[in-house]
Amino acid sequence: MNNHEIDYKLYGDDMQFVEVELDPHETVVAEAGSLMMMQDGIEMETIFGDGSGAGGGLMGKLMGAGKRLITGESLFMTTFTNTGSGKKHVSFAAPYPGKIIPVDLSQYSGKIICQKDAFLAAAKGVSVGVEFQRRLGAGFFGGEGFIMQKLEGDGMAFIHAGGTIVEKTLAPGEMLRVDTGCLVAMTHDVDYNIEMVKGVKTALFGGEGLFFATLRGPGKVWIQSLPFSRLASRVFAAAPGTPGGSKDEGSIAGGLFNMLGGK
* 21: CATH: 3.60.160.10
Task: Quote the pLDDT of residue 159.
Answer: 95
User: Sheet harboring 175-179: ordered strands across?
Assistant: 175-179, 211-216, 191-196
Q: Using 50, 70 and 90 to split pLDDT, how confident is the model at 250?
A: very low
pLDDT in tens, 139-169: 444 444 457 888 999 999 999 999 899 999 9
Q: Which residues pair with 230 in a beta bridge?
A: none
Would 239 be classed as within a structural domain? no
Residue 260 or 223, more confident: 223
- As a whole number, mean pLDDT of residues 11-19 equals 91
pLDDT over 90 (residue 239): no
Q: Is residue 185 part of a domain?
A: yes
pLDDT tens digit sequence for 25-74: 999 999 888 999 999 999 999 887 656 655 455 555 555 555 555 555 55
pTM (global) more than 0.95: no
Q: How far is CA 175 from CA 2, 15, 79, 189, 197, in A?
A: 35, 31, 39, 13, 16
* Band of residue 205 on the pLDDT scale cut at 50, 70, 90: low
pLDDT at 139: 46
User: Is 50 exceeded by the pLDDT of residue 244?
Assistant: yes
In-domain check, residue 231 = no
Higher pLDDT, 225 or 131: 225
68, 31 Cβ separation under 8 angstroms: no
pLDDT for the residue numbered 82: 96
Residue 90 belongs to a domain:
yes
pLDDT value, residue 247: 52
Q: Is the pLDDT of residue 252 over 80?
A: no
Structure confidence at residue 217 as a pLDDT band (50, 70, 90)? very high
Phi, psi of 257 (to 5 degrees): -60, -40
Q: Among the listed ranges 12-21, 177-186, 232-241, 253-262, which one has the minimum average pLDDT value?
A: 253-262
Q: Check the CA dihedral 103-106-107-108 and report its sign.
A: positive
In this prediction, residue 238 has a pLDDT band, given cuts at 50, 70 and 90, of confident
Residue 87, pLDDT > 90, answer yes
pLDDT of residue 76: 79
Within a domain: residue 249? no
pLDDT confidence of residue 224:
93
Is the residue at 81 inside a domain? yes
Range with lowest mean pLDDT among 149-153, 186-190, 232-236, 244-248: 244-248
Read off the pLDDT band of 18 (50, 70, 90): very high
Overall domain count for the chain: 1
- pLDDT score at 173: 94
User: What is the edge-to-edge ordering of all strands in the sheet holding 183-187?
Assistant: 127-132, 147-152, 111-114, 183-187, 219-224, 165-170
In a domain, 166, yes or no: yes
Residue 206 belongs to some domain of the structure:
yes
The mean pLDDT of 168-177, rounded to a whole number, is: 95
Q: Which domain holds residue 42?
A: 7-226
